[in-house]
């Protein structure tokens, strides 16, 4: 953890920001739920006072989430939960807006922990008070290395099965010191996942059916060609 003299961000290439911005704008059209939240609650700033440390895949879609959180009034700092999943143009675009981002594709294990470490204290010197986690690494780091911050943390959310199992283990050992939300098993996520899986299944069946129809037509055409050839061959 650093504060004085800390880098405002660390990404692979800040010049990728314009490319990232174009893709963020496109992604906003595919994420109407978040855009509706901005429209409905943006003027009220319900997240004012929230200092959210996020450890989630730094992708274009995550960029839309980050900008929704800031639009709703939160201060946000971000790292990636995977050393290979960062989309560098997304990280650059968010960093260019002034949100501290510490993520790039191809981090070493040491750099990965360093990046998470940078998101614990905000530019004004105040520590995080909320955690948005994916996999539990940020949660574990705070509990094990920076327990002095736990008292001020209002809660955390975890969206992966691995991270949720980690939370249950911590709870069983009386090591979990902040309220936690299991996003992974929430009803909205389960319903959405089921719906998307159903849509994907229908699309797969439709594609397979179309493929079979094309193959059947090709087979019929080939049979006709062979029949004509046999009739007219000497």
Look at residues 119, 171, 179, 189 and name the one whose alpha carbon lies nearest to residue 152. Answer: 179
pLDDT in tens, 158-201: 989 999 999 999 999 999 999 999 988 866 656 655 555 555 55
Residue with tokens 């204290």: 121
pLDDT tens readout for residues 26-83: 999 999 999 999 999 999 999 999 999 999 999 999 999 999 999 999 999 999 999 9
Round to whole Å and give the CA distance between 107 and 94. 18
């Amino acid at each position: 953890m650093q504060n004085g003299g800390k880098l405002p961000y660390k990404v692979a290439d800040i010049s990728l920001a314009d490319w990232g911005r174009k893709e963020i704008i496109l992604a906003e059209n595919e994420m109407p739920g978040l855009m509706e939240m901005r429209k409905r609650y943006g003027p009220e700033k319900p997240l004012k006072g929230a200092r959210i440390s996020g450890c989630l895949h730094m992708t274009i879609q995550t960029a839309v989430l980050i900008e929704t959180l800031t639009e709703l009034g939160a201060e946000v700092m971000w790292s990636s939960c995977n050393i290979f999943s960062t989309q560098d143009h997304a990280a650059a675009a968010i960093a260019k807006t002034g949100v501290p981002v510490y993520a790039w594709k191809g981090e070493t294990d040491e750099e990965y922990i360093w990046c998470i470490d940078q998101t614990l204290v905000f530019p004004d010197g105040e520590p995080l008070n909320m955690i948005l986690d994916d996999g539990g690494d940020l949660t574990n780091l705070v509990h094990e290395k920076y327990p002095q911050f736990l008292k001020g943390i209002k809660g955390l959310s975890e969206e992966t099965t691995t991270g949720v199992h980690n939370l249950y283990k911590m709870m069983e050992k009386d090591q979990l010191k902040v309220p936690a939300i299991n996003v992974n098993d929430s009803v909205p996520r389960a319903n959405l996942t089921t719906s998307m899986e159903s849509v994907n299944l229908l699309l797969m069946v439709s594609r397979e059916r179309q493929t079979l129809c094309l193959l059947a037509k090709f087979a019929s055409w080939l049979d006709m060609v062979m029949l004509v050839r046999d009739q007219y061959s000497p």
